[in-house]
Amino acid sequence: MQQLDNQEILMKLKSSKQFWDIKKKIKKGFNDQQKIGVNDIQKFAQSCEIEDQLTNLISHILKKSKKRETLKEDQIDFLNTSKIKWTELLFKNLDIVHQKTKNQEEDDTNTDSKLYIYDEKNLLAFLQTFKQQQSSALYQNVQFQSNKLLNINIPLKSSQQILDKYQYLLLQEELQDEKINKIRKQIENEHLDIELEKIAQTFVPNGERCLLYLKYFEFDHQETILQQNFTKLQKECLHQLFYDELLEIDGHEISEDTFYFVFQEQILTCLKCFIRDKTIKENIRIQLQNGIKKEHTEFQLPITGFFPFKNISKYVAPLCYLSTKIHIIYALFKEFFCRYFCFLHAISSENNSILSLCMQIEEIISTNSPKLFHHLKVIGCDTLKLIIHQLIYCFVGDMDPPHILTIYDQIIGHDSLEILVILCVGFLNKYKSKLLLAKNYENVQQIFQELREDKFQELVQFAYKQ
Amino acid sequence: MQNKKLKWKSDFEKSVIIENFVNRGWIKSQEKEEEQTDWNVYWATQIINHFPNHYELTRKDCMVKNLKRFKREQDKEVLETFNFDFLPTTYIFPGEYSLFVEEFHRNPNQTWIVKPAARSQGKGIFLLRKIQQLKKISGTTVTSNMTQLNLASKENYVVSRYIDNPLLIGGKKFDLRMYVLVTNYKPLKVWIYNKGFGRFCNEQYTTDVAEIENMFVHLTNVAIQQYSDKYSQKHGGKYSIDALKLYVESAYGTDALNKMMDDIHNIMLTSLKSVQAVIQNDKHCFEMYGYDILLDSNLKPWLIEINASPSLTTTTPVDKNLKMNLINDVYNIVLPNDDFPDNDQKQQQPTKVGGFTLLYDENLDPNNRKTQKRQSVKIWK
């Protein structure tokens, strides 16, 4: 449904650099001609592909103006059923957690730390239980391999396509001051999201990152509204929820992190507001849980429509670097979660879903590093089990903040989480030689417990190393 | 007449040295050379990690005195090359007590911070809002109409305007510990280390008068914060300089970060210049200082103090890594290739050694300090 009138479309066009480049081109094409008719312009535009560029630009504006619909139903039936089963499982976990917290209140010596509804291992274990339900002619290009952890027949982008898409990162060079200043000016002047995506794909100066993100999410002139909304949510936090307790426990890990401990209180405040935010259900790109608890109605799903999970704090933490204003941090976190991170917790066949990303990683490793893939299987450590934590939490806690923010840039730059596939493959390739010497799971754990420093560009290099 | 048979040891086989020992009837230490510890007098070829009178910079009262003196000298110069606006208004007790009282009455809402001049680790520090609180250091009742203050102990105190609007991150106050290596005072040669850390308080900052004595809110010393219930052994309240720079650049902008760093470099250079004339320079000496700097809410840095023996205790694995590399890099500058560098070798040293970057070398450009500072910022980046 078209929501913008012609005037609005023109305004959006005028805020794009590409529009002005096209206009310049047309002007140049007619030089000093005095009388120019509409037909003349149209003929000229058709002759040098300007008409196509303009058409694409306008259709992009119209597409972006459409209200985002939350994906509720998957094209594959058994995944819809699985989502319901997952939700039921989580309700059971919630009951168990609630009982544990009650026990801890009564007995101080009881220090059971598993006070979360689910973590990444639980999610992966659930995905593993999927069995090939039915084959479909549509997905014949997916090779069914019994040695893979996940055997699900879903439409999958070719892994070579993903590798090719991000290969340009290998050529990234350190930019000179002049180029950086040019990019700064571009960010200040640009408003169109496809142009901002192009910038995000190449390089985002630290000083302009927050502005780029705010512009991309169309928040740059909405600070007052963001502040008012956040203040309302903060007031609602005065009324305690059981989930607040889980969020406080979740914050303990981030409070021990050398890069994020300073933001501990801010992270908790953001999360408490998040689980009370009514607008999330309509803004989130994909439904995470499906089902309403019928019996024992002490706890229902939070108003967001999904349960908070272990390490949810990690998604907020890196964004705390971007602003001194908590309502800005909150707005950015909410948008990142609703657009991208939600897919990491969704039972879905969508491209960005945890299922697709995992299958892509297994595909690349089994094809490009078969020795490693096989060795890990033999010693009882599946490839996915090694990288599931890094994948689901976007390497937060594994990489220093500047590298995490580069990951976030790439996510925006391609409107996709596929960069995580590249980085996970790179991560496994980096430690390949040590992993090949590991004899069991304990050896493998020791490798990752040593003090290590994983960097964005380094992992990209390793992803393409044979 | 010498009666004592002192034992001597020498790295120099110089007759003037040896004969003096012999003439005095002193005995050469008989142990094997490498095990010689049984000596009273040692004529050495050594280097030492302190300048003889480093206290001119590292005692709080001397630092203030020297900076004030240097400022008076610079005020007479035609060209303004130094910026002194980084030292909070400070008085040295007991000598400047009456001046303090005048200032105190002019600004009755001002909080002051009282520190012993020569102690460390936050010992003896307290915040002052009423003159009567000075009883803590005088031992007797103090009233506002007294014109002099007699201190209970012989030590001096410094009383500074308390920076009550510190930059907060996550609602908490912090200060910066940065490392500076001086390998020579005349001419001045200064290196700055690229790693350092912010030391965070464990409690949320507040200017509430009820919390004025809560040291967990106001004093960033690790020696104090480690006793807080909220202290974590994993990070020890230490936040890396790199993380802080990312935060400042992302949240305030690149220009704001560059200005902040420029101002910090100014503090280091100006403070060292202020004692250049008084420090006893010796080619066998070097010194690694721990600079304590506080940022206010406008990102303006203030000099708190300079430590001659910054703590090398490590509280976390990250801390250990930092300090190991720091000392290693100090040796790489001071003893390159495990040898004492001669003057030529010192001149040819690169401007970057490990984590150290040359901040200032008076030999290179003795008259153009501003140009040197701008160049050093680029090197730092």
Q: pLDDT tens, A102-125?
A: 887 776 655 556 789 999 999 999
Q: How confident is the model at residue A14 (pLDDT cuts 50, 70, 90)?
A: confident
* pLDDT given for residue B34 in this prediction: 58
Q: Tell me the DSSP string of A36-70.
A: --HHHHHHHHHHTTHHHHHHHHHHHHHHHHSPPPP
Chain B: residue whose CA lies nearest to A267: B170
pLDDT at B381 over 60: no
Query: Is B169 in contact with A263 (Cβ distance < 8 A)?
Result: yes
Q: Is A401 on the interface with B (CB under 8 A)?
A: yes
pLDDT, mean of residues B31-43: 68
pLDDT at A162 over 50: yes
* pLDDT given for residue B199 in this prediction: 95
Of B232, B246, B249, Cβ closest to residue A261: B232
pLDDT at A164 over 50: yes
**Weakest-pLDDT range from B40-44, B203-207, B315-319, B376-380:** B376-380
* pLDDT given for residue A410 in this prediction: 97
What does chain A come to in residues? 466
Please report, as a single letter, which amino acid is at residue A149.
Answer: L
CB B63 within 8 A of CB B305: yes
pLDDT, mean of residues A331-336: 97
pLDDT, mean of residues A135-141: 46
Residues of B in contact with A323 (CB under 8 A): 250-251
**Weakest-pLDDT range from A141-145, A445-449, B216-220, B224-228:** A141-145
Q: What is the CA radius of gyration of chain A?
A: 24
pLDDT, mean of residues B113-131: 89
Q: Tell me the DSSP string of A413-454.
A: HHTSSTHHHHHHHHHHHHTHHHHHH--SHHHHHHHHHS----
Query: Is A256 in contact with B232 (Cβ distance < 8 A)?
Result: yes
* Residue B33: partners with Cβ closer than 8 Å, 6 or more residues away: none
* Rounded (10°) CA dihedral A164, A169, A173, A177: 120
Query: Is B169 in contact with A262 (Cβ distance < 8 A)?
Result: yes
pLDDT at A89 over 60: yes
Look at residues A151, A93, A83, A152 and name the one whose alpha carbon lies nearest to residue A119.
A93
pLDDT at B17 over 80: no
The model's pTM is 0.87
What does chain B come to in residues? 381
Whole-number Å distance between alpha carbons of B101 and A237: 47
Q: Which residues pair with A55 in a beta bridge?
A: none
Of residues A436 and B317, more confidently modeled: A436
Q: What are B150-177's pLDDT values in tens digits?
A: 787 788 899 999 999 999 999 999 999 9
Of A207, A258, A266, Cβ closest to residue B250: A207
* pLDDT given for residue A13 in this prediction: 80
Q: What are A28-55's pLDDT values in tens digits?
A: 887 766 677 888 888 888 887 788 888 8
Angle, CA of B225, B227 and B229, to the nearest 5° = 100
pLDDT at B378 over 50: no
Of residues B17 and B289, more confidently modeled: B289
Q: What percent of chain A has pLDDT over 70?
A: 90
List the single best residue of B246, B261, B316 to mutate versus A (max A Cβ within 10 A). B246
Q: What percent of chain A has pLDDT over 90?
A: 56
Q: What are A301-315's pLDDT values in tens digits?
A: 888 999 999 999 999
Q: What are B254-272's pLDDT values in tens digits?
A: 999 999 999 999 999 999 9
* Rounded (10°) CA dihedral B349, B351, B353, B356: 130
pLDDT, mean of residues B29-41: 70
pLDDT at B312 over 60: yes
Look at residues B264, B285, B269, B260 and name the one whose alpha carbon lies nearest to residue B360.
B269
CB A428 within 8 A of CB A365: yes
Residues of B in contact with A261 (CB under 8 A): 200, 232, 235, 239
**Weakest-pLDDT range from A97-106, A166-175, A220-229:** A97-106
Whole-number Å distance between alpha carbons of B165 and B305: 18
pLDDT at B329 over 80: yes
A-B contacts at Cβ under 8 angstroms: 69
Of residues A270 and B95, more confidently modeled: A270
Q: Cis check for the bond before B108: say yes or no (omega within 30 of 0).
A: no
Whole-number Å distance between alpha carbons of B339 and A51: 72
Question: What mean pLDDT, rounded, does chain B reach?
Answer: 86
CA end-to-end span of chain A, whole Å?
Answer: 48
Q: What are A374-414's pLDDT values in tens digits?
A: 999 999 888 999 999 999 999 999 999 999 999 999 999 99
pLDDT at B3 over 60: no
* pLDDT given for residue A107 in this prediction: 66
The 3-state secondary structure of chain B reads: CCCCCCEEEECCCCHHHHHHHHHCCCEECCCCHHHCCCCCEEECCCCECCCCCCHHHHCHHHHHHHHHHHHHHHHCCCCCCCCCCCCCCEEEECCCHHHHHHHHHHCCCCCEEEEECCCCCCCCCEEECCHHHHHHHHCCCCCCCCCCCCCCCCCCEEEEECCCCECEECCEEEEEEEEEEEEEECCEEEEEECCCEEEECCCCCCCCHHHCCCHHHHCCCHHHHCCCCCCCCCCCCEEEHHHHHHHHHHHHCHHHHHHHHHHHHHHHHHHHHHHHCCCCCCCCECEEEEEEEEEECCCCEEEEEEECCCCCCCCCHHHHHHHHHHHHHHHHHHCHHHCCCCHHHHHCCCCEECCEEEEEECCCCCCCHHHHHHHHHHHHC
* pLDDT given for residue A226 in this prediction: 95
Q: What are A177-229's pLDDT values in tens digits?
A: 888 899 999 898 887 888 899 999 999 999 999 999 999 998 988 899 999 99
Look at residues A445, A448, A435 and name the one whose alpha carbon lies nearest to residue A365.
A435
pLDDT at A250 over 90: yes
Of B246, B251, B253, Cβ closest to residue A402: B246
Look at residues A108, A119, A107 and name the one whose alpha carbon lies nearest to residue A246.
A119
- Residue A347 is classified by DSSP as -
Whole-number Å distance between alpha carbons of B133 and A42: 84
Query: Is B246 in contact with A206 (Cβ distance < 8 A)?
Result: yes
Residues of A in contact with B235 (CB under 8 A): 256-258, 261
Q: What percent of chain B has pLDDT over 90?
A: 50
Distances (CA, A) of B324 to A303, B237, B320, B321: 51, 19, 6, 5
- ipTM score over 0.90, yes or no: no
State the DSSP H helix or E strand holding residue A159, giving kind and residue range, or none if neither. helix A159-165
Q: What are A411-460's pLDDT values in tens digits?
A: 999 999 999 999 999 999 999 999 999 999 889 988 888 777 899 999 99
